[in-house]
Structure 1
Amino acid sequence: MLLCVDDSSAILEYERSLFEMSGYIVVTAEYAGDGLRLATNHQFDAVLLDYNMPEMNGHQLALEIRRIRPETPVIIFSGAEIPEETHRLVDAVVQKSEAIRELLPTVERLWERLD
């Protein structure tokens, strides 16, 4: 099960369709706080986060998820430039401009590591 958190409903719909077509169960949240509640209350196989969100950014949300679920892979999926500190915190960073080529293979590689 994959958790996707992004303040853009269009991006969330894209992620849902991409991963559901590949057989994954997808849960989405438009707000970082909702994503944190979901990550706290449910065990996800991976979490996909936008970096620029209004309540808290992807780095802050990744820190919170790492605190409560250190074993869960976290991927930043963003169009923004990502600070080096965030690169070190998360398992992968995928630029939205590379989505078609990189997003699904990145998630699959992380899940293979878990098996």
Structure 2
Amino acid sequence: MKQNSNLVLCVDDERIGLEVRKILLERAGYRVLTASDGPTGLAIFSAEPVEAVVLDYSMPGMHGGEIAIQMRQVKPQVPILLLSAYIGLAPEVTAVVDLYMTKGRARRSFWKN
């Protein structure tokens, strides 16, 4: 793995999904940090030089939309990918993220040029 590879933060309360994403991203050459809940994810996001976020929508305590809004206040330039099993999330949620995906369908461009 390259030492200067991009740092990605994955936030998901489901351990298996989190581990699978971490493995796939690391195999692709990314460095990956993980969090199993919103508050932990926000703390890592604020403290580390995170360059992209993969965020689950449905989590106890606070959903991914709430987390994304807070992340935007800290580092508005960092791309956020929101994953959800729900189709048709509210526009005020999807407007905050760069990409919203449900079961493999991309809704917007993730990496901005």
Q: Identity across aligned pairs (percent)?
A: 32
Structure 1 or 2: larger helix share?
1
Deviation string, structure 1 residues 10-54 (Cα, Å, up to 9, x no partner): 110110111111111111100111000001111211011101111
Q: Give the whole-Å Cα distance in 1 for the aligned partners of 2:29 and 2:59.
A: 28
Name stretches of at least 5 consecutive residues in structure 2 with no aligned partner. Answer: 1-6
Correspondent of 1:6 among 12, 30, 42: 12
- What is the identity, as a one-letter code, of the residue corresponding to 1:67? Q
Large movers: runs of 4+ above 4 Å: none
Aligned-partner Cα distance in 2 for 1:2–1:74: 10
- In the alignment, the residues of structure 1 paired with residue 35 and residue 13 of structure 2 have an alpha-carbon distance, to the nearest angstrom, of 8
Q: 1:85: how far off?
A: 1.4
Which residue of 67, 90, 103 maps to 1:83? 90
Q: Which runs of 5+ in 1 are unaligned?
A: none
Which residue, 93, 101, 111 being the options, matches 1:94? 101
Hey, what's the Cα distance between the residues in 2 that align with 1:36 and 1:55?
13
Q: 1-side partners of 2:84 and 2:99: how far apart?
A: 11
1:46 aligns with 2:52: yes
Structure-2 separation of matches of 1:83 and 1:48: 19
Question: Residue in 2 aligned with 1:67?
Answer: 73
Alignment: residue pair count? 104
RMSD: 1.6
